[in-house]
Amino acid sequence: MSIKISGTQTTDIFKDEKSGKLREVGNQAAWSLSSCKPGFGVEQLRDDGHDTYWQSDGPQPHLANIQFRRKTTIYDICFYANYKADESYTPNKISIRAGNHFNDLIEIEQLEMTEPVGWMSIPLKDSYDQPIRTFMIQVAILSNHQNGRDTHVRRIKIRSPTQSFNLSTTGLQNFTSKELQMYSVVR
């Protein structure tokens, strides 16, 4: 089962982040790439600019590995791609794999993009439809538009749901009213 995305993306993927339900956990992970051109590496992939990108420099498939220190619940992974700027460098088919380490990865999602412009969010769910829990995620760029050899990836975000465990027993609930929220924390 693969997800097909095409054209300009208009959904606002940051809505949940702003409302506090999702949180970017990329900075809790170690990032590595299969290959990159000097000056176009992890820094540029992970910075906040849409104009900086990772440019690969080796054979396909190009891999971006995300390794966490602890088993992390992942809600989704987001890409920013811009066909208009990258043309043949824009990824076309992406495979997302998860597992414990390099020799333990299985593909959980496949994504096919056609001339994408903007942010795309791919939820990662396991067979019970829950966000996956994993130590490592690998993003594999299988092919590019117009059969390009190298790829440009502008931004990748990886997000985790906040407070995924059931808190009602522990009493640290999220209150909706201001009065109770006021009393719930000592700060």
Write out the two tokens for 87. Answer: 């043309």
Total interface residues for other proteins by CB under 8 A: 29
For residue 184, state whether it binds other proteins (rule: CB under 8 A).
Answer: yes
Does position 4 interact with other proteins (CB under 8 A)? The reply is no
Closest separation in Å from C-beta 121 to other proteins = 17
Q: Is 130 in the site for other proteins (CB under 8 A)?
A: no
For residue 158 the two structure tokens come to 């990886």
Q: Does 177 bind other proteins (CB under 8 A)?
A: yes
The answer to whether 66 touches 136, Cβ cutoff 8 Å, is yes
Nearest residue to 132 via CA among 109, 111, 153: 109
| Residue 20 within binding range of other proteins, rule CB under 8 A | yes
Report CA torsion sign: 128, 26, 139, 153: positive
How far apart CA 18 and CA 29 sit, in angstroms, is 21
Q: Which two tokens stand for residue 68?
A: 């966490």
Tally of residues, the chain? 187
| Binds other proteins (CB under 8 A): choice among 4, 10, 38, 179 | 179
Q: Which sign does the torsion angle of CA 162, 176, 121, 95 carry?
A: positive
Q: Which of residues 24-83 bind other proteins (CB under 8 A)?
A: 28
Q: Is 162 in the site for other proteins (CB under 8 A)?
A: yes
Residue 114 or 174: the one with the smaller Cβ distance to other proteins is 174
| Amino acid making up residue 171 | G
- Could you tell me which stretch among 7-15, 52-60, 102-110, 171-179 binds other proteins (CB under 8 A)? 171-179
Which of 3, 14, 23, 133 is close enough to bind other proteins by CB under 8 A? 23
Stretch near other proteins under the rule CB under 8 A, chosen from 6-14, 56-64, 114-122, 167-175: 167-175
Name which of 131, 139, 142, 136 is nearest 98 in CA terms: 136
**Residues within the interface to other proteins (CB under 8 A):** 18-21, 23, 28, 162, 166-187
